Structure 1
């Protein structure tokens, strides 16, 4: 378990998007500087970065452009140009005396001319405060498998009217790509030290480094949604929960309003106080466990300020829930009562604690635990938390910590790939560069690390891609009439496709969505928003509207209609019709009332899916994919199978959606399609990645990841975990081989799942993840196994045993179940008969979909 890596990843990710989504450029007296840029430049989100040259007061510096742009850099600004310092140099920024500031430093370690960032070790000092010492951005990025990093500091008020920021090389040179200096309100005060009730720390005058910032019980909150334009990023707390019992999450009641009262809204955005993680309502269970979070990468011999955010929007009076707060096994607060603190329901409050972390024998950690204060005899035995922030306080005018080390697994994989790299062609370099490096280990990781090494040899620079990002495909430019200004997207549709789809007027689209009211938005795809609508006085639909200002999407619009108009299956999302009028393009689909499968696994939804329901969903999705592979004239490969592309209707029936990357055509008669690699990391078939040859077994690999995702209720990629656990496919296979898979199964399933059902399910998922496509089962075989899993579970639900059976009994039961499922197995071989029509002359291009994916691709 690599504790330093996990903590460091969060530290880097904490402000990963701050430069892209913030409002800080609009804040009075803020500075947003692109280092080395000669003129103003805007990033991908339209935020303007100013040149830095006028603020440099000494030293030898040069402006140099990077030789390689990592795919995770969505914009040149500010990362593709750096300010290089070959000797001690300083910036001098004007600041308001007695004001507190956020300082963010951006680093992209690359090859800048003859300056290789691998050789750069340097220190950074703000006035007399050491921020970084002997710092290597290259080592840090390697350890985190990141392309670039951001460090965020909160600088204490000073009587000075300027901030001097000094860069001094230790070895080689120093560099920086971007600097942000953002005024922030003074939101700190005197805090008592845990374990020393007679000692306090004046946080108001302390300098700090942001370590963690979590929305407890909720989801990611982007800088755009932060309060007071401070552009902070708040992350999901689930990766940091400890133990089998992670409590339950809830959202604010509809009849409750979050009222800040006298507390400044700048303390935290409303989203933080609108969600909560609590212990649950089982008194017996709650008495026997702590609601616990563990934070790693904690430098010893420093003090840490822990800020806990609370807002009780469920209970209404004191002593309904009272709990104790423990930090590093010390009592930080006894008899915590949120209602008593805040004064009422829906009123936010927060508490600050300072803890000193002493030097231990290894990687240090910070533990936070909550437990009901049973001695006070509260009405309910429970505890709750809405948000947490952790800041490192400066000691002896320093916040600098050691450089991290890449994990042993990373170094081992890197070494093993050296021979592999030498055998690859230059074409693999191009494809690898497009796909990026990796944080996902195992088969995909080995390939991605090889890509990193190849790019290093070819371009002379590192590439540490944020590998949980998807691979983006190109989009065809829109075709518009130069006379009328209207799109002519539908003019190239076949008459058969137009005949099979209903054509809506734009007036009907506006009426169905109440003039595209924002309250009806249920998702945002790559090309526009998806609205809930109603047509024909009662039929619920999902309407995807292309962005009118976009010059993209016509080709995808056409091919989506061509393909989906011919595909009809119970387990595929159906296309009802389209609108192509007044420069507007809309696609109308079945409305899926329960959204994506992922929402019901680990994205804050209150639903805890039973094992039987999960199996039924798996079977439905497998039938949809089986139809694509075998039910049409030509094989159709989905190419983007994942839990966000499996939608659920009001009856919990699963339907496969998002055919944006699908491929089909007569060339599949050769057994594969040679094509540029596209898909989503975490689900991507490593054999497809290596050979660039797409087969239906690529979908099988992705579906295997989905199966483990359903079993374990965790994302396919979770970069905040230790490196060996980042990739679910790799970690699940490791646990499966070690015989400890039950340790990572969704806690909600424990004690409720038939062991033989789970064993058969895990074996099926494992086979789907075989390295070679020929060794993977077909969707037909997968369906048979899943239906056997379902029958085994139903047998238990109807009075059977959930314990492990003896080997002889297992084989006997499996044989009986297999015989009873023969009819089902045979019927699965002809699932294509469920189609209304055959697929003929389908376009082989990309298709325009993403029904409910809130982020798009």
Structure 2
């Protein structure tokens, strides 16, 4: 009787596949190594992973020995599944005709009886190699981030299950591990084959351009940006896809950041599927502004570091909430200096205002090394159609790495830690030399980990690289690890070359930072300051003396020279460059360049003719401010701090707001300065970061001083103390 029942049940499932699929959830969120699963800080439920393991798997479960402050939740990161042999997960697919979003979470912390530093492994999903000889430990050390998230888009499969296999070579690796896995039944994001950039004929005949088949191609997410807007967390994503959308400002080339604008009309999806992107993406955008004469001779450009020798899909999200007729705002699109599209007119393409749309292009990056593998995205206003305005527009941008269909491969090389980081760690005994690649391991390349790095799409991604590293074995909650507490989505190269061609041997500056500011040699600095003449000293701070100088014949600058005996040094120097090279705001002091020559550490800023706020607050000091001037300075400084707290990719806490760090230019415009002690990180679900107290005592937030818990309110308290 039982046999007949089993046969009946089997036949029922075969001839009623829809009902069988209904029993399979659309998404799986697995807290690997956990017996009970749990709920994360966003309220998402994670289940145990053991029932999806192949029979006979040799694995152990482990709990991380320390919890990094950058973890927004202990789930899924505080437990791990450690594989002692090749192991396969088998995940039932909700619908074999739908694509799959696969996310892998790695937290390379210390685990009992497991050497994380020698863990090299590969991951294969649905026959595609996602990772090869991957070291989460090297990635985290090189990028100064605590955890890595890799996100993949897998096309519809003919099989009812998705097999994800972790394997490694026992003689060369201590094993493989994973902390969390997400398997989400996704809609069909890519329903047509995009044009290969650069394949058009000499007359830009795009109708005859080569198209790239992507509808059946596996992809890895590299970047996902909310252009002109703030970070959008997974819980605010559309259709439950749990994607993260990051601010774009850190990827903008040069000082021409344009203007970030919030739409003043209601945005609706209309004919665009809601899963394409959340409405918040289409409700904000970046343009060049209203200055026609400037715009027509300028570009708005973003630069992205990628893995070499792959093809990449670049998706543009557009929604024009201002133009009400055709030929008002028309622009050209270039990818890696090749024309992707001419005369983009959003209103003409959608035939209505505030209507979202998307457009895909594919570009081939054939560089042989990782150092120069980049994607440049450029928008330029056209005058061919004589439009009403000379401007450009972009709301969102996504970049996906395409698998090599002949090899079914998405794996890139491991990043390596910079030489400066190694030296600093060794000198300060902050980390053992175990992070170096073992002799029997293939060489790794110094690259940028993008995609969903550190909790997201690029994903990952970040405002400042701090040089102080930590020893994971010795880290304790509440102690200042010295490292940045956000997941940074780029890495400084071991040898960085600036625009002037100078190589920074003593301090490693990321290529993005170096390209955004000028390198000065020591001779130029001495000439500007008359060999550091004491008569040119205009201030003295914790970093060193500040000199008034003149460069390029008549440009006044402020030159800050490090004092070798100062308590502030290489870390503050690095932080200031990495921070200010990427931040541009009316109420933030502008960094022109730096000098790292002959052991000197020198920073060059715009000259602030009216000096510091402190000089004007007391009788007998320079000019006594009127109440109107005080109010304008107060509002300006507040706007600068507000931008740091809400306008950058991640929350930036200044940590040393005081009257000497608020400067005033010749037009009495207030600007916040001195970012050497700044901390930065993602939306603080915990509300604070634990760190040792730094800053000026008279301006310190008592709660920060007493509890060593830093928040944006710490800056607000210091700001109020200034006035």
- Paired position in structure 1 for 2:140: 141
* Cα drift, residue 360 of structure 1: 4.1
- Paired position in structure 1 for 2:295: 286
In structure 2, distance between residues paired with 1:375 and 1:332: 16
In structure 2, distance between residues paired with 1:715 and 1:375: 49
**2:69 alignment partner, one of 68, 71, 74:** 71
- Paired position in structure 2 for 1:403: 414
In structure 2, distance between residues paired with 1:144 and 1:66: 20
**1:192 alignment partner, one of 191, 195, 214:** 195
* Compared CA separation, residues 653 and 389, structure 1 to 2 (3 A): closer
In structure 2, distance between residues paired with 1:311 and 1:621: 47
In structure 1, distance between residues paired with 2:706 and 2:633: 32
* Cα drift, residue 162 of structure 1: 0.3
Q: Which has the higher helix share?
A: 1
- Paired position in structure 2 for 1:176: 178
* Cα drift, residue 853 of structure 1: 9.3
Whether 2:379 is the aligned partner of 1:370: answer: yes
- Paired position in structure 1 for 2:107: 108
* Cα drift, residue 111 of structure 1: 2.3
* Compared CA separation, residues 203 and 622, structure 1 to 2 (3 A): farther
In structure 2, distance between residues paired with 1:856 and 1:99: 52
* Cα drift, residue 45 of structure 1: 3.1
- Paired position in structure 1 for 2:471: 452
In structure 2, distance between residues paired with 1:169 and 1:88: 7
* Cα drift, residue 277 of structure 1: 1.0
SS of 2:65 mapped into structure 1? coil
Confirm or deny: 8 A CA contact 1:452 1:464 kept in the other structure: no
* Cα drift, residue 53 of structure 1: 0.6
* Compared CA separation, residues 222 and 440, structure 1 to 2 (3 A): closer
Whether 2:34 is the aligned partner of 1:34: answer: no
* Cα drift, residue 102 of structure 1: 1.0
In structure 1, distance between residues paired with 2:397 and 2:145: 24
- Paired position in structure 2 for 1:487: none
Whether 2:617 is the aligned partner of 1:619: answer: no
In structure 2, distance between residues paired with 1:325 and 1:266: 25
In structure 2, distance between residues paired with 1:358 and 1:277: 30
* Cα drift, residue 373 of structure 1: 1.5
> How big is each residue's C-alpha offset from its partner over 1:559-586, in whole Å with a ceiling of 9 and x where there is no partner?
xxxxxxxxxxxxxxxxxxxxxxxxxxxx
Alignment of 1:200-599 (within 5 A): 200-253=211-264, 256-296=265-305, 298-360=306-368, 362-395=371-404, 396-418=407-429, 448-449=468-469, 451-452=470-471, 455=474, 466-468=484-486
Whether 2:646 is the aligned partner of 1:652: answer: no
* Cα drift, residue 69 of structure 1: 2.2
Confirm or deny: 8 A CA contact 1:252 1:275 kept in the other structure: yes
In structure 2, distance between residues paired with 1:856 and 1:260: 42
In structure 2, distance between residues paired with 1:100 and 1:464: 41
In structure 2, distance between residues paired with 1:209 and 1:388: 15
* Cα drift, residue 363 of structure 1: 2.8
* Cα drift, residue 649 of structure 1: 8.5
* Cα drift, residue 110 of structure 1: 2.1
Whether 2:90 is the aligned partner of 1:92: answer: yes
* Compared CA separation, residues 655 and 83, structure 1 to 2 (3 A): closer
In structure 1, distance between residues paired with 2:63 and 2:128: 29
Confirm or deny: 8 A CA contact 1:108 1:148 kept in the other structure: yes
Confirm or deny: 8 A CA contact 1:215 1:221 kept in the other structure: yes
* Cα drift, residue 244 of structure 1: 2.3
* Cα drift, residue 310 of structure 1: 0.7
> How big is each residue's C-alpha offset from its partner over 1:661-716, in whole Å with a ceiling of 9 and x where there is no partner?
xxxxxxxxxxxxxxxxxxx98645xxxxxxxxxxxxx7769948999972599994
- In structure 2, the gaps of 5 or more residues are 1-22, 201-208, 433-461, 488-580, 591-604, 619-629, 642-650, 683-692, 719-723
> How big is each residue's C-alpha offset from its partner over 1:232-269, in whole Å with a ceiling of 9 and x where there is no partner?
1111111111122221221112xx22122111111111
- Paired position in structure 2 for 1:13: none
* Cα drift, residue 223 of structure 1: 1.3
> How big is each residue's C-alpha offset from its partner over 1:341-389, in whole Å with a ceiling of 9 and x where there is no partner?
1111111111100111112454311001111112222121111111100
* Compared CA separation, residues 238 and 419, structure 1 to 2 (3 A): closer
In structure 1, distance between residues paired with 2:610 and 2:24: 52
Confirm or deny: 8 A CA contact 1:468 1:682 kept in the other structure: no
* Compared CA separation, residues 330 and 264, structure 1 to 2 (3 A): same
Confirm or deny: 8 A CA contact 1:317 1:339 kept in the other structure: yes
TM-score, length-scaled by structure 1 = 0.52
Confirm or deny: 8 A CA contact 2:301 2:379 kept in the other structure: yes
In structure 1, distance between residues paired with 2:482 and 2:363: 34
Confirm or deny: 8 A CA contact 1:97 1:160 kept in the other structure: yes
SS of 2:613 mapped into structure 1? helix
* Compared CA separation, residues 259 and 246, structure 1 to 2 (3 A): same
> How big is each residue's C-alpha offset from its partner over 1:809-855, in whole Å with a ceiling of 9 and x where there is no partner?
xxxxxxxxxxxxxxxxxxxxxxxxxxxxxxxxx99967999898999
* Cα drift, residue 136 of structure 1: 0.3
Confirm or deny: 8 A CA contact 2:653 2:712 kept in the other structure: no
In structure 2, distance between residues paired with 1:245 and 1:100: 39
In structure 2, distance between residues paired with 1:420 and 1:169: 26
* Compared CA separation, residues 303 and 654, structure 1 to 2 (3 A): closer
Confirm or deny: 8 A CA contact 2:654 2:675 kept in the other structure: no
- Paired position in structure 1 for 2:578: none
> How big is each residue's C-alpha offset from its partner over 1:746-802, in whole Å with a ceiling of 9 and x where there is no partner?
xxxxxxxxxxxxxxxxxxxxxxxxx999xx9999xxxxxxxxxxxxxxxxxxxxxxx
SS of 1:376 mapped into structure 2? coil
In structure 2, distance between residues paired with 1:84 and 1:78: 14
- Paired position in structure 2 for 1:710: 672
Confirm or deny: 8 A CA contact 1:320 1:379 kept in the other structure: yes
* Cα drift, residue 652 of structure 1: 2.9
* Cα drift, residue 440 of structure 1: 9.7
Confirm or deny: 8 A CA contact 1:27 1:183 kept in the other structure: no
* Cα drift, residue 225 of structure 1: 1.4
Confirm or deny: 8 A CA contact 1:321 1:383 kept in the other structure: yes
* Compared CA separation, residues 285 and 655, structure 1 to 2 (3 A): closer
SS of 1:239 mapped into structure 2? helix
SS of 1:317 mapped into structure 2? coil
* Compared CA separation, residues 700 and 377, structure 1 to 2 (3 A): closer
